[in-house]
């Protein structure tokens, strides 16, 4: 079967995008992993299907797979790319798209190359936690911003050996059986937060993680380390902007703003 695709990235986090509004395309985990392979496939951090709406409350459905072929609830950078891709395929009114993810319903707006997504509600917030790995004892914060995230604030993110240190957190028994994503964040002198993320399912550092930077921003504000709106510098070099409403320790109406860029289009045999 030959499939048309578009390669996109959001702040360096890259995706294989497939239009499936007729619902005819079904991919196995093995096929997804092969398409995302950077040597033998197209190459990407994940694959996203633009599926038909699940019901009348939305205009489309976002189905997201990590590069290992595992289906995941949501991806922030992927949701921005999904919004752009959906608009390119005639979904929505050209500036706004309502869609469902496995994490819940979302809406997103497009404005001159910038895309603002309204994130799913925050879950499982746990500040000021501690865990020990072979790399030391970490003070961390935890939350689910669509998927699970650990946030560790450090003095210098460039000194973090992110693959082993992130992996040790990702597979720690404290987060079994699903595991977690691991974010290391540094508050810069100008107030921008510099973030590096080890992503579950990719099993390596990615150039950006939308749900991760959202978690970092929320933790920074709740701990008094930053003010809103929060600017976060990701490894890919882009700055993403996060905002939300706060009522004491309660957080709602979370938004994530940043770019979504077409890289190339093509066809592939699966």
DSSP 189-255: TTSPEEEEEEETTTTEEES--HHHHHHHHHHHHHTTS--SSEEEE-TTS-EEEEEEEEETTEEEEEE
- The pLDDT value given to residue 121: 94
- Quote the DSSP letter at residue 20: -
Answer yes or no: do 21 and 87 share one domain. yes
Q: How many domains does the chain have?
A: 2
Answer yes or no: do 81 and 30 share one domain. yes
- The pLDDT value given to residue 248: 87
Answer yes or no: do 171 and 98 share one domain. no
DSSP class per residue in 147-165: SEEEEEE-S-GGG--HHHH
Burial track 127-158 (b if 16+ CB lie within 10 A, e otherwise): eeeebebeeeebebbbbbbbbbbbbbbbeebe
Instruction: Give yes or no for residue 128 having a pLDDT over 90.
Output: yes
Instruction: Give yes or no for residue 245 having a pLDDT over 90.
Output: yes
Distance in angstroms (rounded) separating the CA atoms of residues 247 and 249: 6
Half-sphere exposure of 36 (CA within 13 A, CB side): 25
268: exposed, middle or buried (Cβ count in 10 Å: 0-12, 13-18, 19+): middle
Instruction: Give yes or no for residue 82 having a pLDDT over 90.
Output: yes
CATH number, position 165: 3.10.310.10
Answer yes or no: do 82 and 62 share one domain. yes
Which tens digit of pLDDT belongs to each residue from 138-154?
Answer: 999 999 999 999 999 99
Answer yes or no: do 160 and 100 share one domain. no
**How many residues are given for the chain?**
270
CB atoms within 10 A of CB 40: 10
Distance in angstroms (rounded) separating the CA atoms of residues 114 and 99: 18
* Tokens matching residue 95: 């500036």
Mean pLDDT of 23-48: 98
Contact present, 9 and 261 (Cβ < 8 Å): yes
Answer yes or no: do 113 and 130 share one domain. no
Tell me which residue range forms the domain holding 138: 123-257
Contact present, 265 and 84 (Cβ < 8 Å): no
Answer yes or no: do 92 and 137 share one domain. no
Confidence of residue 249 (pLDDT cuts 50, 70, 90): confident
Largest CA distance in the chain: 53
Answer yes or no: do 112 and 129 share one domain. no
Mean pLDDT of 108-134: 96
Answer yes or no: do 156 and 48 share one domain. no
Contact present, 6 and 85 (Cβ < 8 Å): yes
Answer yes or no: do 160 and 139 share one domain. yes
Which tens digit of pLDDT belongs to each residue from 167-226?
Answer: 999 999 999 999 999 999 999 999 999 999 999 999 999 999 999 999 999 999 999 999
Active-site positions read 75, 209
Distance in angstroms (rounded) separating the CA atoms of residues 188 and 174: 30
Contact present, 29 and 63 (Cβ < 8 Å): no
Answer yes or no: do 186 and 244 share one domain. yes
Helices 210-222 and 76-88 meet at what angle, rounded to 10? 130
Answer yes or no: do 82 and 135 share one domain. no
**Sign of the Cα pseudo-torsion (147, 241, 80, 12, in order):** negative
């Amino acid at each position: 079967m030959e499939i048309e695709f578009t390669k996109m990235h959001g702040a360096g986090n890259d995706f294989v995008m497939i239009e499936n509004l007729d619902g005819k395309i079904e991919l196995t985990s093995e096929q997804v992993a092969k398409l995302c392979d950077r040597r033998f496939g197209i190459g990407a951090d994940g694959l996203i299907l633009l599926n038909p709406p699940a019901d009348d409350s939305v205009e489309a459905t976002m189905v997201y797979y990590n590069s290992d072929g595992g289906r995941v609830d949501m991806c922030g950078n992927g949701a921005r790319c999904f919004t752009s891709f959906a608009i390119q395929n005639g979904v929505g009114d050209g500036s706004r798209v309502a869609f469902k993810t496995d994490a819940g319903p979302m809406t997103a707006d497009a404005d001159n190359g910038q895309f603002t997504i309204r994130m799913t509600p925050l879950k499982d917030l746990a500040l000021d936690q501690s865990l020990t790995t072979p790399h030391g004892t970490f003070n961390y914060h935890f939350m689910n911003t669509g998927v699970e995230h650990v946030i560790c604030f450090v003095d210098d993110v460039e000194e973090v050996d992110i693959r082993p240190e992130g992996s040790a957190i990702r597979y720690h028994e404290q987060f079994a059986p699903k595991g977690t994503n691991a974010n290391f964040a540094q508050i810069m002198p100008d107030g921008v937060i510099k973030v590096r993320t080890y992503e579950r399912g990719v099993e390596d550092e990615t150039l950006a993680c939308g749900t991760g930077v959202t978690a970092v921003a929320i933790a920074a504000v709740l701990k008094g380390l930053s003010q809103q709106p929060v600017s976060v510098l990701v490894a890919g070099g882009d700055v993403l902007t996060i905002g939300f409403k706060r009522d004491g320790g309660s957080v709602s109406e979370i938004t994530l703003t940043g770019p979504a860029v077409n890289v190339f289009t093509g066809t592939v045999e699966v």
